[in-house]
A and B are shown apart, each in its own frame.
Chain A
Amino acid sequence: MSSGSGSPAHARRETFSGRSAFIFAAIGSAVGLGNIWRFPYIAYSNGGGAFIIPYLVALLTAGIPMLFLFYAIGHRYRGSPPLAFRRLHPGTEVLGWWQVLVSLVITVYYAAVIAWALSYVWFSVTQAWGDDPGAFFLNQYLHVSEDFGLTLDFVPGVLTPLVLVWVAALAVLAFGVQKGIARLSMVFMPLLFLLFGALVVFALFLPGAGRGLDALFTPDWSELTTSSIWIAAYGQIFFSLSVGFGIMVTYSSYLKKKTDLTSSALVVGFSNSAFELLAGIGVFAALGFIATNTGQPVDEVAASGVGLAFIGFPTIISQAPGGVFLGVLFFASLVFAGFTSFVSLIEVVLSAVRDKLGLGRVAATLGVGIPMAVLSVVLFSPSTGLNLLDVTDAYVNSFGIVAVALAVLMTLAVLINALPVLRNHLNAVSSFRVGRGWQLMVAGVTPIILGYTLINSLQDHIRDGYEDMPGWFVGTFGWGTVVGIIVLAWLISRIPWSTRSALDAPDLDGKPVAGPVLDPAMDGKWSHETGAQS
């Protein structure tokens, strides 16, 4: 344990230059691949136009309240997730590491998808996929192996852009919070809106665009009475806003003391959804074109995820007039949206290690970033990368992100009753004030939905396995990852904080950071000068 006396002078915590820098960075983090390739299909397959109702309800009752919560934690306790939770209550550090390790796992495979998109910007120009984009993607580009497992059979076409993506991200991060992360988002986000806006305008003029929009927006009101549409809406909001795995805690820890947290969160939450809606219009206009051109119904061409981006879109690009333009806009948008989210995920890990070990930014970027990059390259550039990515993504999403968010909410709301303190903190600095309704959303509505989702996925995966993958493969890389993360998080949280760590660092104004939610007397090990309780 550290003690207050005789500890070394701590470097002042980095800060964003102001509110708008933070908002751009937070939008850069929230707007990612899921906005472009997940939302349109989820909306289409869950009631079409009727989906807007559960979607808005989910945004207002779960998405934005969760942003408020995590901004409050990061801002009040001034730390990466492990440090912020350690300060909030000494027993909750493990939750922070759980979030950090979820981010780490997502980071290593997310990089691969950005690398593919980068390759496809160029492939759009040359129309490299010829007549069969599916075969090109799986066989000629990824060289997907029929074997499951790990090989070192590297695919140079993936390896090169993957290394490039990592080098670029670590270079941005080495510049720090304001000069690196914030500047990146302040350039990339407006550019993304411009590029995707151009894509939408272009797609709307394609023949058949109206058919796609008709499919996306025609409401099926009967769906509103089924639970699946509501679960889908909450799931979309939850995954799309990237709440629950530490990014928002980390970014808000870099805010100045007087920052309007809730009003910023409203802008971030609505910007994310605004872009998502734009993506829905662009993607379905393009799908309407291809359905018309090939004489198929829209439901036969509608898709999401990797299949939509790397097989569906190339087909559209090949057939559309001016397809090269459409292709470059689409894949560049994926790269811009993905890259800012990718940087935010790495920052969660860097920030946590820096806080715990007291490392400088460049040292952490190299010391932590390079091993992550090596892991990413070794796992996801060989021919076995796609299957590994598929199973890891499915399990980390269903059981990592959802489980850690549920654990955090239940701990804060039930075990340590932290919500009143966090609510007071929000209201002390923000112009949009929250009351008991917010607590009800965070402690009631959201945990019920998350719990239901978690139990549903558990039942499905235990009963059916995952796709047709062998049990040992799913066990090792799916369940193994999810359980391994929790065990490792617990082990790391047992490591004591050294005197070099940021645990005893004062706040930006030199005063002590807020003390734990419970009375310090209840925890004999607590040696902090705790400051006043709210």
Chain B
Amino acid sequence: MSSAAVWMMLVAMATVWGGLVLSVLHLMRHPEEPEE
């Protein structure tokens, strides 16, 4: 693989999978409120 391809693969993984990790962390920091 060329270095440009490796870099772009890493960028794609970091942004998309990183975005998923961040959104899951955000969700976990705001637990579900019990129904009244």
Q: Which residues of A contact B (CB under 8 A)?
A: 18-19, 48-50, 52, 56, 210, 213-214, 216-219, 256-260, 263-264, 266-267, 269-271, 273-274, 276-277, 281, 431-432, 509
Contact = CB atoms under 8 A, between A and B. Distances in A.
A376 B16 CA distance: 36
B24 A277 contact: no
B22 to A, nearest CB: 8
Contacts of B8: 48-50, 52, 217-219
Q: How large is the interface on B (under 10, 10 to 19, 20 to 34, 35 or more residues)?
A: 20 to 34
Contact of B23 (A266, A276, A277, A281): A266
B32 A52 contact: no
A13 to B, nearest CB: 14
B35 A258 contact: yes
Contacts of A257: 35
A219 B26 contact: no
Quick one: which of A218, A260, A271, A276 has the most chain B CB within 10 A?
A: A218
Given A258-B33, A277-B13, A267 B1 contact: no
Contacts of B35: 256-258
B16 A277 contact: yes
B30 A270 contact: no
B9 A274 contact: no
Given A18-B32, A56-B15, A257-B35, A218 B5 contact: yes
Given A18-B32, A257-B35, A509-B36, A218 B19 contact: no
B26 A217 contact: no
Which 3 residue pairs are nearest across A and B when measured between Cβ atoms?
A: A49-B8, A266-B23, A270-B20
A274 B8 CA distance: 15
A49 B5 contact: yes
Nearest to A264: B27
A interface: dominant SS: helix
Nearest to A430: B30
Contacts of A217: 1, 4-6, 8-9, 12
Nearest to A52: B12
A210 B1 contact: yes
Contact of B17 (A213, A219, A274): A274
B30 A214 contact: no
25 contacts: A49-B11, A49-B12, A52-B8, A52-B15, A213-B5, A214-B1, A217-B5, A217-B6, A218-B4, A256-B35, A257-B35, A260-B27, A260-B30, A263-B23, A263-B26, A264-B27, A267-B27, A269-B23, A273-B19, A274-B16, A274-B19, A274-B20, A277-B13, A277-B16, A432-B26
A213 B26 contact: no
A18 B35 CA distance: 10
Given A213-B9, A432-B26, 9 more contacts: A49-B5, A52-B8, A217-B9, A259-B32, A263-B27, A267-B23, A269-B23, A270-B23, A277-B16
A509 B36 CA distance: 9
